[in-house]
Amino acid sequence: MGPVSQGAAHLFTSRKRRRHLLDLSGERALITGGGHGLGRAIAKGLAARGAHVLVVSRRQAALDETVRQIHDSGGRADAFAVDLTDIAAVRQMAEEIGRQHGGVDIVVLAAGGGRFLSIEETSEEEAANIMSSRYLSAFYVIRSLIGPMLKQDRGRIVIIGSSFAWLHSFNVAYKAAAHALHGLAQALETDLYDTNIQVMYVEPPPIWPLTTFFVHNPGTAQRLPAFYWRFTWTPEQLVAYILRGLERRSAYVSHPLMRLLNPLYPVVSRPLLWYSRRRFPALEDGGPLSGRRRRPIARTSADGRDFADDLPASPHQI
């Protein structure tokens, strides 16, 4: 089918039917952070569309569980246990993937995390860890795989950021890492403009039911602004939006309301801060807009307070 008839077929295919067209059979998809949470959900979603997924994170047992779940549902998956903040280990992984699988067609960067901490709570080491597990790991992986992608002039790079990049909050390192990822996506999009490599930046709101992110980064759920919990996605929604973005070759996927609010951020942030201080004076101690339960919260998790009090007994293990 030529490009014109393909376009016509696309126009006359209903939206509902189009949702089922994305076929990733024969594609090799590497997903960082594939041992838990969003990475695992995305790996399962891509495998269900026929991709052979390669999941990467540090803990072998978690990776094995992802691989098992994919095999059980008839998909293809392999695991690589790698610390993505280690440049040499990432290079070695890329060589290994080249030898075993001949390269990759899709790269999804969902590894890393970070607690929501204010400036005096964030040690220099923790800031470095957050930046390297989120931004540098993404950079290293893309850098190690981009050569073959450019050679075949085909591929997709999906960067999972966070809508928290834009919200008024005190999480100095996590927020900065999210901005770094956003910058990386924008720069790559420009850099790869005249290639057939799609760059897609995904900016999820908080995911509900809670993922393992909130176990790996204790205290974080309690520090999200109250109104933020009104704009959640389920893991299934996130995967569906990513698949739709791949199908449409989108550059940016986010919650529609966040998309609307983001450009207004410089204008609304100060009035919002003023309003929150007037409306919730008791929260002063917890930082701007924090405390989804509208009561003072501990500003540090090192004081023995069990943040798990507020969480469901068992977070959603996806």
Ligand X SMILES: NC(=O)c1ccc[n+]([C@@H]2O[C@H](COP(=O)([O-])OP(=O)(O)OC[C@H]3O[C@@H](n4cnc5c(N)ncnc54)[C@H](OP(=O)(O)O)[C@@H]3O)[C@@H](O)[C@H]2O)c1
Neighbour-count burial of 61, counting CB atoms closer than 10 A to its CB (0-12 exposed, 13-18 middle, 19+ buried): exposed
Least distance from ligand X to the Cβ atom of residue 28, Å: 19
Query: Which residue of this chain has its Cβ atom nearest to ligand X in the complex?
Result: 37
Q: Does 162 bind ligand X (CB under 6 A)?
A: yes
Closer by beta carbon to ligand X, 146 or else 177: 177
Rounded to whole angstroms, the Cα distance separating 99 from 28 reads 13
Least distance from ligand X to the Cβ atom of residue 51, Å: 18
Q: Which residues fall within 8 angstroms of residue 135, CB to CB, at 6 or more apart?
A: 177, 180, 181, 184
Which one among 139, 140, 166, 213 touches ligand X, defined by CB under 6 A? 213
Q: Does 35 bind ligand X (CB under 6 A)?
A: yes
| Phi, psi of 203, rounded to the nearest 5 degrees | -120, 80
Which one among 37, 219, 225, 287 touches ligand X, defined by CB under 6 A? 37
Cα–Cα–Cα angle for 166, 172, 174, rounded to 5 degrees? 70
Q: Which of residues 46-65 bind ligand X (CB under 6 A)?
A: 57-59, 62
CA dihedral 282, 284, 287, 292 (to 10 degrees): 20
> Which of the ranges 93-101, 108-116, 147-155, 249-257 carries the binding residues for ligand X, by CB under 6 A?
108-116
Q: Does 171 bind ligand X (CB under 6 A)?
A: no
Which one among 85, 144, 171, 301 touches ligand X, defined by CB under 6 A? 85
Task: Decide: 42 and 31 in contact? Cβ < 8 Å.
Answer: yes
Q: Does 44 bind ligand X (CB under 6 A)?
A: no
Rounded to whole angstroms, the Cα distance separating 94 from 137 reads 13
Q: Which residues bind ligand X (CB under 6 A)?
A: 33, 35-39, 57-59, 62, 83-85, 110-113, 133-134, 137, 160, 162, 204, 206-207, 211-213, 216
